[in-house]
């Protein structure tokens, strides 16, 4: 079983993240994961989303699973922790957890499945070996 590195990104709740119940709308948690992944891809893996696009490749989400535990509110800060759980021939599962700062209490956790596609066709493509190596840290 492979064990992959976990990376952290700190973010803040924005005013436009708040719904009519005065907490973060459920859809925004995926935005937080996406923002963290974009940063982590460039900073920690050394291959940004733009680098994939330059090769004519992109990652498309096929599944999102979130287990909500407690809400975030306006002005809250959080740590978004993400890691690759496993690879398939043409994709990967990225697991995540979000914790409220400074308490460290879990806000939510889950995973997203992604497939690597050729942007020109929108069809799945095998993960190139150099990409698999970069993302297997």
pTM for the complete prediction? Answer: 0.94
- Please give the pLDDT value at position 3: 77
Given a cut of 80, whether residue 2 has pLDDT beyond it is no
CA 59 distance to own-chain centroid: 11
Considering the chain, what percentage of its residues have pLDDT values greater than 70?
99
- Please give the pLDDT value at position 137: 94
Torsion angle (degrees, nearest 10) of CA 93, 109, 31, 1: -20
Task: State the pairing for strand pair 105-118/57-68.
Answer: antiparallel
Listed in sequence order, the residues at least 6 apart from 10 whose beta carbon sits closer than 8 Å to its beta carbon are 77, 78, 79, 80, 101
CA 76 distance to own-chain centroid: 19
Q: Is 92 exposed, middle or buried (0-12, 13-18, 19+ CB in 10 A)?
A: buried
At the topology level, CATH places domain 6-134 in Thiol Ester Dehydrase; Chain A (3.10.129)
**What would the pLDDT profile of 102-114 be if each residue is shown by its tens digit?**
999 999 999 999 9
- Please give the pLDDT value at position 1: 56
**What would the pLDDT profile of 50-93 be if each residue is shown by its tens digit?**
999 999 999 999 999 999 999 999 999 999 999 999 999 999 99
- Please give the pLDDT value at position 52: 98
| DSSP per position, 44-68 | TSS--HHHHHHTTEEEEEEEEEEEE
């Amino acid at each position: 079983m492979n064990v992959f590195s976990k990376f952290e990104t700190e973010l803040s709740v924005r005013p436009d993240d708040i719904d009519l119940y005065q907490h973060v709308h459920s859809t925004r948690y995926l935005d937080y994961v996406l923002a963290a992944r974009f940063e982590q891809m460039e900073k920690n893996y050394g291959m940004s989303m733009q680098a994939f696009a330059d090769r004519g490749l992109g990652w498309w989400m096929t599944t999102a699973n979130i287990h909500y535990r407690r809400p975030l509110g306006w002005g809250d800060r959080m740590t978004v922790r993400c890691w690759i759980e496993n690879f398939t021939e043409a994709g990967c599962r990225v697991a995540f957890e979000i914790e409220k700062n400074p308490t460290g209490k879990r806000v939510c956790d889950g995973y997203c499945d992604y497939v690597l596609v050729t942007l020109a066709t929108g069809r799945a493509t095998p993960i190139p070996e150099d990409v698999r190596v970069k993302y297997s840290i």
